[in-house]
Chain A
């Protein structure tokens, strides 16, 4: 009987212990959750991504070249270039997209303009050189990226993207058939504009011909 009571007492103590543990667990879990919430809150509030705090740059003049470019048309473009992984240009192969702004200038070499005057026939003939592309310029500050595949810092993507955009712009400009025609027509207008004051001042009327 005493043993039985003792066993009952032991069981009671064990049950009490279990109850205490369960009660403690029930108190501890919310406390732990609260602590986690506080920790997350602190992380969110104090979390701040690193900022660029300084950019400095120095420029030194290396060389100067004399040129004679009369640009008469400007082709401005906002576009998106795509970098493909491999030679096949398909959607599955795109590594990243880059949005850019740029322009292409076309015109003539002003020094190559040839002028001939035929006094007998009262004719001035101006021969223009071929129209050339003078500038394919991309504004590097306008570059924005969307990456499909992860890029490492060491890849120095900006230089690759810049060249990609220049090439893209050049290809788009070459497809504009009217670009060189407009450049030539504008060059003719510009030269005519410079010559008109002479023609007005001449006593005789001269015919102006552009080739």
Chain B
């Protein structure tokens, strides 16, 4: 009887340790989607990005001797800026052409993989006894944060956005002038912006 009591106590102890796990199921359809777009990218910008991630040591007995950690990542981010041509308005009235140009926007963000490698990452020293690892998810989160920061930096750079829009004007003007030269007509273009 006493042995039975001991076994029950042991089982209770084990169940406390293992605890309950909560299973979470996410189902996502793998979906290929082809969509028609009309985007004119006029500037390709390269940014030098540095991300710093700080991860604290865990608390409690299981994390004793863990150290606070730091990771630095250095890489080149690429952004393409341009206009959505589907929002362009063109009105031809004789020799006068009125064009309403949409505001420039960031069309894509990317990472330059030519200089993105293991050497791009630097880690602070970890404890020998109990490791506080910087995981792949942590690395991804840091780089994603840097990309978002790059996006905000570009959007705040009004000069750059204006340059992208002006470049679109240049390209459309060349196109119109080509038509004009061939038709023997000198067109006057009036520009206005949609902001």
Q: Which residues of B contact A66 (CB under 8 A)?
A: 42-44, 167
Flag if B110 contacts A79 (CB, 8 Å).
Answer: no
Flag if A57 contacts B149 (CB, 8 Å).
Answer: yes
Q: Mark B7-36, 1 if CB is under 8 A from A, else 0.
A: 001001100110100000000111111111
**Interface hits, B36-77 → A, CB 8 Å:** 36-63, 66, 68-69, 76-77
Flag if B123 contacts A154 (CB, 8 Å).
Answer: yes
- Interface size on A, as a range, is 35 or more
- A-B pair number, CB within 8 angstroms: 273
Q: Which residue of A lies closest to B182 (CB)?
A: A117
In terms of DSSP, what is the predominant structure of the interface of chain B? Answer: mixed
Flag if A40 contacts B16 (CB, 8 Å).
Answer: yes
Flag if A201 contacts B92 (CB, 8 Å).
Answer: yes
Query: Which of A3-11, A13-21, A86-94, A138-146 interfaces with chain B?
Result: A138-146
**What is the CA–CA distance of A178 and B50 in the complex, to the nearest angstrom?**
39
Q: Mark A66-89, 1 if CB is under 8 A from B, else 0.
A: 111111111111111000000000
Q: Which residues of A contact B138 (CB under 8 A)?
A: 52
Flag if B34 contacts A73 (CB, 8 Å).
Answer: yes
Q: Does residue B162 face the partner (Cβ distance < 8 Å to A)? A: no
In terms of DSSP, what is the predominant structure of the interface of chain A? Answer: mixed
Q: Mark B141-170, 1 if CB is under 8 A from A, else 0.
A: 111111111100100010010010001000
Q: Does residue B174 face the partner (Cβ distance < 8 Å to A)? A: yes
Q: Does residue A24 face the partner (Cβ distance < 8 Å to B)? A: no
Q: Which residue of A lies closest to B98 (CB)?
A: A197
- Interface size on B, as a range, is 35 or more
Q: Which residue of B lies closest to A80 (CB)?
A: B30
**What is the CA–CA distance of A46 and B82 in the complex, to the nearest angstrom?**
52
Q: A70 with B80: in contact, given A56-B52, A59-B146, A78-B28 (CB under 8 Å)?
A: no
Q: Mark B69-96, 1 if CB is under 8 A from A, else 0.
A: 1000000110010100100101111100
Q: Does residue B195 face the partner (Cβ distance < 8 Å to A)? A: no
**What is the CA–CA distance of A54 and B142 in the complex, to the nearest angstrom?**
9
Which 9 residue pairs spanning A and B have beta carbons closest together? A47-B60, A141-B144, A117-B182, A158-B139, A57-B146, A197-B92, A46-B60, A57-B51, A54-B54
Known: A44-B16, A61-B45, A162-B113. 10 other contacts (CB 8 A): A46-B59, A47-B60, A50-B57, A55-B52, A56-B52, A61-B47, A63-B46, A71-B37, A77-B33, A115-B178
Q: List 30 A-B contacts (CB under 8 A).
A: A40-B13, A42-B61, A47-B60, A48-B59, A48-B63, A50-B68, A50-B69, A51-B55, A52-B54, A53-B55, A54-B54, A55-B54, A56-B51, A59-B48, A63-B46, A64-B44, A66-B167, A105-B37, A134-B41, A141-B141, A141-B148, A156-B117, A156-B121, A158-B136, A158-B140, A163-B113, A182-B36, A186-B37, A197-B92, A198-B92
